[in-house]
């Protein structure tokens, strides 16, 4: 099976997506997601200008060798652009190998270790009532675990709140952080207001929805280690499933301080790209969930290595599944999530109707569980004509400034 063609397809139905499509000499095709939110075209160039010429003529079956070749021969290693590009090649080749073997990819990865994958959805609200309505709405959709994001009094706009402005009847009511336009939006942030408000939100949610519903929260990289410790401690009475990205994790040691003060489970890693980003925090048991996505962590081959390493420390998966991970990236996560033993939970933000037209998906969401489906390969096909209707539109993620004008983590 020789790689004969590799196309980089950019489309923007509800948001920008970058997909690599590899075709072999015997007509098999494989897809890989290479979407890097707000920096999409950098991965397009990395693939088109540097990687595609290296793929033509290679043995499509040599997945690990191709991974190592792309990682080591680049000389410049790691980082979000490189690892998203390598991920797309890796997943496309796994898609092809599973099709050649006439089986769903999870079967090739060792078969299913469970009936389905517990998924969590995003409930949010600027007000208490709006948040409660959003939680009920997600429960009606079948979600058995829910991430809670709330507005904070005094802050104009904050991460994670799906605004009614972007909501149209029949569409999914998801929060899309990347805004189309020439420049990124500036948002305001105040840690004190947030730390005072969030515990009251979880108290109210527990009073309203009871003690059992698994609740998650994303602090989105905004707190210092001691502020993160304080938040974790103040949320302990509300028994969170996890508290995510509670402090920027470039400094992995920072988590020691957080661990010293709280038993609230910690999830980190959606902006990590390789196993080396996890070495210390896994070895020292400083997290409970690996948040990496297949798309941003070098594909199925590399993320499986990260999760196998984490398994030795009883750390589970909590794969990143926002709208900026395409249906191809989501399908890859589901196949890997079905096969591994140390599966924890899967994030599931639902894509828009136009996206579902472009990407024909066979994965299902039933009674709170995701399943990859039993189509051969990944089970996702891309309609290139439909994709061609939606050209790329520049979009940026917002950024934060504090009251005194200082740039802050968004």
Where do contacts with ligand CS2 occur on this chain (CB under 6 A)? 37, 177, 218, 220, 270, 322, 324, 347, 397
Residue nearest to ligand CS2 (CB): 37
* Residue closest to 240 by CA, chosen among 259, 212, 220, 260: 212
Residue nearest to Mg ion (CB): 218
Q: Which is nearer to ligand CS2, 19 or 362 (CB)?
A: 19
**What is the C-alpha to C-alpha distance for residues 260 and 275, in angstroms, rounded to an integer?**
24
Q: What is the DSSP string of 271-330?
A: T--SGGGTHHHHHTT--SEE---TTTTTHHHHHHHHHHHHHTTT-EEEE---TTS-HHHH
For residue 215, how many other CB atoms are within 10 A of its CB? 23
Q: Which is nearer to ligand CS2, 14 or 107 (CB)?
A: 14
> Which two three-digit tokens encode residue 243?
């508290």
Return the SS3 of 228.
Answer: helix
Q: Which is nearer to ligand CS2, 72 or 165 (CB)?
A: 165
Q: What is the DSSP string of 382-398?
A: E-HHHHHTS----EE--
For residue 347, the minimal CB distance to ligand CS2 (Å) is 6
For residue 292, the minimal CB distance to Mg ion (Å) is 11
313 flagged as catalytic: no
User: Contact, 318 vs 267, CB < 8 A?
Assistant: yes
Q: Which of 122, 138, 173, 220 is catalytic?
A: 220
DSSP 51: I
User: Contact, 188 vs 194, CB < 8 A?
Assistant: no
User: Contact, 106 vs 335, CB < 8 A?
Assistant: yes
For residue 177, the minimal CB distance to ligand CS2 (Å) is 5
* Residue closest to 337 by CA, chosen among 113, 143, 96: 113
Q: Which is nearer to ligand CS2, 173 or 220 (CB)?
A: 220
For residue 299, the minimal CB distance to Mg ion (Å) is 20
Which residues of this protein are in contact with Mg ion, per CB under 5 A? 218
For residue 324, the minimal CB distance to ligand CS2 (Å) is 4
DSSP 201: H
**What is the C-alpha to C-alpha distance for residues 3 and 23, in angstroms, rounded to an integer?**
6
> Which two three-digit tokens encode residue 23?
């075709």
Establish how many alpha carbons lie within 13 A of residue 312's alpha carbon, considering only the half-sphere containing its beta carbon.
11
Q: Which is nearer to ligand CS2, 322 or 327 (CB)?
A: 322
Establish how many alpha carbons lie within 13 A of residue 389's alpha carbon, considering only the half-sphere containing its beta carbon.
10
Beta-bridge mates of residue 17: 11
* Residue closest to 9 by CA, chosen among 38, 31, 27, 25: 31
Q: Which is nearer to ligand CS2, 270 or 288 (CB)?
A: 270
| Share in percent of the chain as helix, strand, coil (round to 5) | 35, 20, 40
For residue 53, the minimal CB distance to ligand CS2 (Å) is 29
Q: Which of 46, 106, 120, 159 is catalytic?
A: 159
For residue 28, the minimal CB distance to ligand CS2 (Å) is 31
Using alpha carbons only, give the angle 305, 99, 27 rounded to the nearest 5 degrees: 120
220 flagged as catalytic: yes
Q: Which is nearer to Mg ion, 149 or 362 (CB)?
A: 149
> Which residue intervals of 78-190 are DSSP H helices?
80-100, 105-108, 128-140
Give catalytic residues, as residue numbers.
159, 220
């Amino acid at each position: 099976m020789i790689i004969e063609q590799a196309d980089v397809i950019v489309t923007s139905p509800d948001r920008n997506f970058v997909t690599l499509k590899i075709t072999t000499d015997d007509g098999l095709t494989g897809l890989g997601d290479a979407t890097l939110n707000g920096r999409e075209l950098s991965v397009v160039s990395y693939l088109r200008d540097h990687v595609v010429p290296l793929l033509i003529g290679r043995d499509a079956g040599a997945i690990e060798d191709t991974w190592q070749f792309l990682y080591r021969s680049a000389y410049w290693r790691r980082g979000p652009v490189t690892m998203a590009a390598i991920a797309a090649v890796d997943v496309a080749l796994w898609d092809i190998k599973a099709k050649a073997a006439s089986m769903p990819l999870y079967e090739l990865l060792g078969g299913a270790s469970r009936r389905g994958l517990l998924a969590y959805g995003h409930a949010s609200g600027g007000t208490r009532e709006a948040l409660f309505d959003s939680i009920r709405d997600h429960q009606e959709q079948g979600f058995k675990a829910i991430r809670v994001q709330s507005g904070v009094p005094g802050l104009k706009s904050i991460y994670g709140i799906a605004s009614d402005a972007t909501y149209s009847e029949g569409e999914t009511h998801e929060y899309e952080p990347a805004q189309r336009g020439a420049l990124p939006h500036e948002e305001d942030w105040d840690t004190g207001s947030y730390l005072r408000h969030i515990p009251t939100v979880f108290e109210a949610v527990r009073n309203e929805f009871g003690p059992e519903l698994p609740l998650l929260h994303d602090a989105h990289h905004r707190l210092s280690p001691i502020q993160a410790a304080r938040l974790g401690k103040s949320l302990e009475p509300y028994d969170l499933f996890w508290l995510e990205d509670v402090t920027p994790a470039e400094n992995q040691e920072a988590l020691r301080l957080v661990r010293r003060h709280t038993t609230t489970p910690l999830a980190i890693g959606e902006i990590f790209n390789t196993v080396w980003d996890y070495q210390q925090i896994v070895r020292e048991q400083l997290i409970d969930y690996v948040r990496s996505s297949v798309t941003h962590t070098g594909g199925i081959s590399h993320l499986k290595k990260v999760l196998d390493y984490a398994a030795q420390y009883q750390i589970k998966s909590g794969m990143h599944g926002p709208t900026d991970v395409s249906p191809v990236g989501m399908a890859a996560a589901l196949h890997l999530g079905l096969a591994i033993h140390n599966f924890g939970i899967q994030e599931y933000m639902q894509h828009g109707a136009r996206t579902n037209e472009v990407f024909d998906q066979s994965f299902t969401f039933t009674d709170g569980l995701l399943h990859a489906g039993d189509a051969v390969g990944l089970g996702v096909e891309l309609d290139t004509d439909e994709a061609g209707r939606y050209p790329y539109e520049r979009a940026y993620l917002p950024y934060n400034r504090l009251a005194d004008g200082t740039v802050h983590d968004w």
